[in-house]
A and B are shown apart, each in its own frame.
Chain A
Amino acid sequence: MFAALEPYIQFALKAMAREATYRFEVFTSIGSLAVRVYLLRVVWVALYAHNAAPDGVLLHQIITYSAVALLMGLILDIDQTSLLHDKLHDGSIVVDFMKPISVPLYLFADGTGEVLFHGALIVPSLAIALLIVHIDVPSAAVFGAFALSFLLGYLVGFCLNFTLNCIAFWTLEISAVQLMLTWVTDLLGGGIVPLLFFPAGFQQAIASLPFASMYSTPLLIYIGKITPDHYLQAMGLQVFWIAVLGVIATIIWRAGARRVVVQGG
């Protein structure tokens, strides 16, 4: 069992080493995070100056919410499957198909390595964020539920990115769509403004999309707006989206993989 996984662990380690060479990006992502944390503080303070607590969300809760959302973004904004897009562009995907490995698993391992490296950036980023704002710390049980929900949200994001990159089997160019997806996810997932603040009609429409599973659900668990008796329901919905998007991704992957020969590289 372990021996079968060994190559994929190596793929993940290699991806981490590759990411570590982009020192400049590390520097800017931490610097930019500090700027955003400052910005979220002044924006929410200015808004709360004239309104006590809409929907029962207190100022310290919203600051915690937004700061944790930014830290989650360090991981969720990464396109873990961009390797697929690159490999379709230069044609090297053909070679991977000849290797005795599962290509989707290889991409998952590579993406996970990339994510683990950027995940490590959370530590210095958190340290800097704490200089600028106060972040509430929930009980261990709530934090555990948050971590689990975040993991589920990550898998939803993986399926979305994977599906999108599979579209490159047909169109080759998807970087614009990729960025658009990131912005839409940030907004409709509740990463910028909590979904509680959206007008009621919009909230219902957004609830029927998968984006809330990525930011909103883990964050509302973190600040206690989703109480323990609703955990099962909230995470059930996340699992539902993983299943639905997983099936869609599989179908598109299979159809795309068959086209590879035609594309020519």
Chain B
Amino acid sequence: MRDVYAQYWRINLLTTLEYRTNFLLWFGFTIVYHGTAIAALWVMLTTFPSMNGWDFRNMAFLYALWMVAHALNATFFSTVGEIPQWIRDGEFDRLLVRPLDELFQVISTPGAIFPDELLLALAVLVAAVAANHLAVTAGFVVLVALVVTGGALIDLSIALLISTAAFWFVQVDALRWIVLQLEQEFTRYPLSIYSRGVRLLLAFVIPFGFMNYFPASFLLHKTDNGLGLPMAVGVLTPLVGIVFLVVAYAFWRFGLQRYQGVGH
């Protein structure tokens, strides 16, 4: 299985190198996307002193934690989001007859991904940690690594849940789109600004709050996390990620067993 995965990255890299102009273009694209998002936060927080006690530096750290987790998922597991398309085209049925786990086959399909977003995300994280004068101890590094890994698992689990829905509903683009928007825009601000229902939703139903807000509150030594939970819930992100992935994988197996093709 490891050899398959190594081959996958080799092909991935070769494909990317073949389209160098496109690669440069998409790198520019990644920079402009995150650049404009961070710039908008910066403008807001030069005019206003803070948002519920979070200044621009804090918000940049919040953004960076989400960005690294999201980029990790996008770099290593991007093909999970393509499952609905494969199901529609009948491509997916091919995976069913091979002697390897279906999800592993999905993940190891080359998607011409270059880790540009991940590199950029790590740079933003380093800058945000420096700007907040956080003490970078070995414990801090391990905790942040665990948090972003857990965050990536949350991101992956959501993608897997949506893709699994495609076994029943062939069109899941609308669902994906709405969840993606919730993720991108609602993780940008402190959870405490939302109404209670939205806070609960983002903490326990679609746990985006664990991708960045709860861990960031803990790491920045904030005293409130909008739901009156102990601040230490911020370190639970890896656990939430694993639990959520187990749930998503179980749902995936369940869907897979009932899947009968879309009639090609």
Chain B CB within 8 A of A98 CB: no
A interface majority secondary structure: helix
- The yes or no answer to B92 lying at the interface (CB within 8 A) is no
Partner of B182, one of A28, A35, A43: A35
Query: Is the Cβ of A32 less than 8 Å from the Cβ of B51?
Result: no
Set A180, A186, A193: member contacting B44, Cβ < 8 A: A193
Query: B49 — which chain A residues lie within 8 A by C-beta?
Result: 50-51
In the complex, chain A residues whose CB is within 8 Å of the CB of B21: 173
Q: Which residue of A lies closest to B46 (CB)?
A: A199
B48 contacts A by Cβ under 8 Å: yes
Q: B171 to chain A: which residues have CB within 8 Å?
A: 24
Interface positions of B from 154 to 188, Cβ below 8 Å from A: 171, 173-174, 177-178, 181-182, 185-186
Of A28, A176, A180, the residue contacting B174 (CB under 8 A) is: A28
* Interface of A toward B, CB cutoff 8 Å: 24, 27-28, 31-32, 35-36, 38-39, 42-43, 45-51, 54-55, 173, 176-177, 179-180, 183-184, 186-187, 192-193, 197-199
Q: With A47-B48, A50-B49, A180-B32 as known contacts, state yes or no: A42 contacts B178, CB within 8 Å.
A: no
A42 to B52, CA, bound (A): 11
User: Does the CB pair A46–B52 fall under 8 Å?
Assistant: yes
Partner of A32, one of B28, B47, B177: B177
Q: Is B204 on the interface with A (CB-CB < 8 A)?
A: no
> Cα distance A230–B186 when bound, in Å?
38
Extra 11 A-B pairs, beta carbons < 8 Å, given A39-B185, A43-B51, A197-B47: A24-B173, A24-B174, A35-B182, A43-B193, A45-B193, A173-B22, A177-B25, A187-B39, A192-B40, A193-B47, A199-B43
Give the distance to chain B from A224, nearest Cβ to Cβ, in Å: 19
Docked-complex contact A36 and B44, CB < 8 angstroms:
no
A184: chain B residues at CB < 8 Å are 32, 36
Known: A27-B174, A46-B189. A180 touches B46 (CB 8 A): no
Query: Which A residue's beta carbon lies closest to that of B186?
Result: A39
Shortest Cβ gap from A199 to chain B (Å): 6
A177 to B177, CA, bound (A): 21
